[in-house]
Structure 1
Amino acid sequence: MTLRWIPLAAGLLLASACSRQAEVQTSASADQAVPAAPAVQRKEQAQVDWSPARLEAGDAWIDCGSDYRNGDGRPVLSLAYIDLRNTMQACRGTGLVRLRYKGKVTTSFAALAERTGKLATDLGIGKRILDIDSAGGHVEAAIRAGDAIGENDWTIWVRDDSACHSACVLLLAAGDMRVVAGPVGIHRMIRVGSAATSRKELGEELRKVSDELRNYLERNGASAEVYDLMTTVPNRTLRVLTADELERYGLSGANAVEDDLNRLRLARRCGNDFVRRRDAFRRVYDAQCVQPADAASQDVVDINACGLALRAQYGFPDPQCPDDSPMAELDGAILDIPQLAAGPEAEAAPEPAAGARQDAPR
């Protein structure tokens, strides 16, 4: 039986939210080693299934730029391999793909997340943004999509004109970076078509999935406390999380698990000074860009503009490590485009004949 978080209307979020990162001590000495990252790994993404599928509960667009004021790009009309690849092909020139999605979190959305991430890797597109507007959906689909997002280096946006409620909150937990300006709301999940007739029976149903949800939140760096809070909010209502709660529960800003996993790699490749400057930038970014006095009037574009202006003070983008610099996903074109490796996917790329069935390799 499928689990669903029923979408409900929500009030306005009083403050926008962004950055949360793990606090790590570093020495003032330039030759002091950065502390070792904890032995935490995300769940490996399963092989992408290219079986025929279509978006049945939402709409999606692909854009190769970050400025959504210019529109959301080309509509995703098909999830077939060749069609989706052709839609994303132009993004090789910018090195960035922004996936805008409006609708419910369903199995077809999970397929979209998996396939977009896989094709971005095939095409050498290293910067990925999920621009989401969703009132919820299926818990299992959100976990599946979240695991794909976590393994494919996505930044997630919730714009001022968008919302992220119920099952959508699980997607936030998986993002490498979360920029939140719209309302994020939670409530108690119920089993659609449940035959429970007592509190005890309903509680037993929920306990069957609680362990999976807790494990999912913890492996993605989010606090299991958010699940405990969910269980106290009746399904017919919605609890909109504050900026402080989003940060405390690990649902905004930099993902703590990913940040820890990246620390040693960045120190080796970019140097300890790079890591210290990045951490200093994020602290000031949180204070000046995420939660200024007029935060209620901010949108993602305002937060991004503030961060881009601020980071120059910390020497970013770094000339030696531009793609690892804070907010690198907004830095424009990557001129040195990697060549596609030969393989089943590359061999399937030619344009199909008119009227031909567009099945794709698994």
Structure 2
Amino acid sequence: MPIRRLPLPLLLTACIALAACQRTAEDTAPPVETVEVASPEEGGAVSSAPVDVDAVPAVPVAEPDTGGVDWSPMTLPAGTASISCELDYANAGDGTPLTAFDHDALREAMADCAERGVFRLRFKGRVTEDFTRLMKRLAVVADELSINKRVLDIDSSGGMVEEAIRAGDVIAETRWTIWVREGAVCHSSCVFLLAGGDTRLIGGRVGIHRIIRMSSTASTRAELNRELRAVYGRVRDYLERNGAAVAVADLMMAVPNRSLRILTPDELKLYGLDGVNPAQDDLDRLRLMRKCGQDFVARRDAYARAFDTTCNAPDRDVEQMANCGLELRGKFGFPDEQCPTESPLSEFDLVGALTAAAGNASRLRILGVPVGEPRPAARPTTPARATPAPAPAAVSAESRAASEPADEGDAAADEEAEAPVP
């Protein structure tokens, strides 16, 4: 059959139209932002663990029961940590600095938070073995004091990959909300911590790059690639079990470790690193259906979609998102009379009820609920493992879809003002 050729004028018109479409797509695509880092070894994503390049990488899942935690003496040389019972960091600051990390010291630091049932750990620094040990210890003490609402308020340029995976599994097992406040960063291996959180609220910057093999014996590109393939296999396993996209690992491979690829808000949602953890959301949906009923779950889902479209905007900081979420939930019948502690942002109700009883007239600027003056000393409690906190009903990757189609040294600063932890 002879090939029919388009008339020249028609062919030119088609080419011009195609070029215009391509330019439009290029013009509307968000720019990819990369920044240079001075010394990635000081933060970044560093791997030094031995690997067997011929074996399937093991999945280093953390022990669910953190009761057997190691209480041997430790310090925190690569970072600073403080404890606060307040979620209003803008007015109340970051609480009491931790200078001792034994059981009694941590229990004393967290005792006042037992009445409220919520505490916030502000951590600035690198992810190391000491950070993982701290997260395990805090989870044990929080269980003893029945503090079910836990916020990790982080500002980190990264650190050891294997420790970030171990710490992320601890975070996943012990039910934490993670904030990256405005002005804070979560770079390199810190991204793995985000994957472990029940809920993530991000007002700062999140960046990724290649993993550095500090203990590598490779002398060729092929040898280095075999080593990295084993390490990235562990990373993919970790991301998959925590509901994050394994594409994050693939994207890391393409970014030199002297640079950082800053993830956009859309990418964070796409990769399951922002809002409610989709894996945890599935578990909570089943549990809440049994406990609170189908109507509760339906309203919770509707609230999550509304939060995504109304409150979780790139131009808002953590404080503004929390305030917006608190104002929004009344439209969906929250707090729920039958399941108040499972309702979205229920941690703020705990704070409000306690301080109102104390008769304090001052009000939190971002919460609109009374803030306590001196709190009564926490009553002694019998150590017991607390029931895990429910997943926040604020922002889930699935709900969003329903509503709408290492580094330079530690940066200054820091998840939803516990906003999405119900």
Q: Identify the TM-score tier after normalising by the shorter chain.
A: 0.7 to 0.9
Counterpart secondary structure, 1:97: strand
Aligned position for 1:261: 283
Residue 52 of structure 1, CA deviation: 1.2
Equivalent residue number for residue 21 of structure 1: none
CA offsets, 1:283-320, max 9 Å, x none? 110011112xxx33x21001100111111110111121
Contact 1:79–1:112 under 8 Å retained in 2: yes
Offset, 1:341: 3.3
Question: Which of 216, 222, 226 does residue 248 from structure 2 map onto?
Answer: 226
Task: Report if aligned partners of 1:52, 1:80 keep a CA contact under 8 Å in 2.
Answer: yes
SS in 2 for 1:214: helix
Task: Name the SS of the counterpart of 2:238 in structure 1.
Answer: helix
Runs of 5+ unmatched residues, structure 1? 9-41, 344-362
The corresponding residue for 1:286 is 308
User: 1:316 and 2:337 equivalent?
Assistant: no
Cα distance in 2, alignment partners of residues 49 and 290 from structure 1: 39
How far apart in 2 are the matches of 1:165 and 1:5?
A: 13
With over 3 angstroms needed to count, the CA separation of the structure-2 counterparts of 1:201 and 1:6, relative to structure 1, is farther
| Equivalent residue letter for 2:118 | L
Alpha-carbon distance in 1 for matches of 2:246, 2:78 = 29
Matched, 1:340 2:381: yes
Q: Count residues in correspondence.
A: 302
Residue 339 (structure 1) shift: 6.9
AA at the equivalent of 2:382: A
* Match status 1:7 vs 2:43: yes
Asked if the contact 1:172/1:251 (under 8 Å) is kept, the reply is yes
Q: Distance in 2 between matches of 1:5 and 1:285?
A: 38
1:241-292 superposed Cα distances (whole Å, 9 cap, x missing partner): 011111111101001111111112101111100000000011110011112x
Deviations 1:14-72 (A, max 9, x none): xxxxxxxxxxxxxxxxxxxxxxxxxxxx8543531112111010000000011101110
Cα 1:145–1:43 shift into 2, 3 Å: closer
Sort the Cα spacing of 1:243 and 1:338 in 2 relative to 1 into closer, same or farther, 3 A.
Answer: farther
Matched letter for residue 329 of structure 1: E
Confirm or deny: 8 A CA contact 1:129 1:155 kept in the other structure.
yes
Distance 1:123 1:223, change over 3 A: same
CA distance in 2, matches of 1:222, 1:338: 40
Are 1:49 and 2:61 an aligned pair? no
Residue 414 of structure 2 aligns with which residue? none
Say if 1:5 and 1:138, in contact at 8 Å, map to a contact too: no
Residues 1-362 of structure 1 correspond to what in structure 2 (within 5 A)? 7=43, 44-45=63-64, 47-69=68-90, 70-291=92-313, 295-296=314-315, 298-333=316-351, 340-341=381-382
Instruction: Return the index of the structure with the highest Cα Rg.
Output: 2
Whole-Å Cα distance in 2 between the matches of residues 48 and 181 of structure 1? 32
Provide the residue aligned with 2:51 in structure 1. none
Residues in 2 aligned to 1:185 and 1:342: alpha-carbon distance in whole angstroms:
39
TM-score, structure 1 as length reference = 0.80
Distance 1:141 1:223, change over 3 A: same
Partner AA of 1:162 in structure 2 = A
* Over 4 Å off, 4+ runs: none
- Give structure 2 stretches of 5+ with no counterpart: 1-39, 45-60, 355-377, 385-422
Q: What is the distance in 1 between the residues matched to 2:379 and 2:247? A: 42
What code does the residue aligned with 1:63 have? S
Deviations 1:220-252 (A, max 9, x none): 111111101111111000000011111111101
- 1:338 shift after superposition: 9.4
2:361 corresponds to which residue?
none
| Counterpart residue number, 1:351 | none
From the superposition, tell whether residues 338 and 299 of structure 1 become closer, same or farther in structure 2 (CA, over 3 Å). Answer: same
CA distance in 1, matches of 2:76, 2:265: 32
Is contact 1:6-1:235 (8 Å) kept? no
Q: What CA deviation, in whole Å up to 9, does each residue of 1:68-93 have, x standing for no partner?
A: 01110011111111111111111001
SS at match of 1:250: coil
Per-residue deviation, 1:7: 3.0
Query: Is the contact between residue 143 and residue 383 of structure 2 (CA under 8 Å) also seen in structure 1?
Result: no
TM-score normalised by L of structure 2 = 0.69
Deviation at 1:342, TM superposition (A): 5.5
Residues of 1 paired with 2:296 and 2:190: CA distance?
A: 33
Indicate if the aligned counterparts of 2:131 and 2:167 stay in contact, CA closer than 8 A.
yes
Relative to structure 1, the CA distance from residue 207 to residue 273 in structure 2 (aligned partners, 3 Å threshold; closer, same or farther) is: same
2:62–2:166 Cα contact (<8 Å) kept? no
Matches of 1:269 and 1:140, distance apart in 2:
37
Q: Which digits, 9 at most, give the CA deviation of each residue in 1:145-186, with x for residues without a partner?
A: 111110111000000021100010000000000000100000
Alpha-carbon distance between aligned partners in 2 of 1:251 and 1:203, rounded to the nearest angstrom:
26
Asked if the contact 1:128/1:329 (under 8 Å) is kept, the reply is no
In structure 2, give the amino acid aligned to 1:50. W
Q: Given that residues 150 and 174 in structure 1 are in contact (C-alpha distance below 8 angstroms), is that contact kept between their aligned partners in structure 2?
A: yes
Match of 1:332, SS state, is helix
Percent of pairs with identical residues: 52
Name the aligned partner's letter for residue 152 of structure 2: L
Residue type of the alignment partner of 1:108? D
The 8 Å contact of residues 209 and 255 in structure 2, kept in 1 or not, is answered as yes
Amino acid at match of 1:7: G
1:118 Cα offset (Å): 1.2
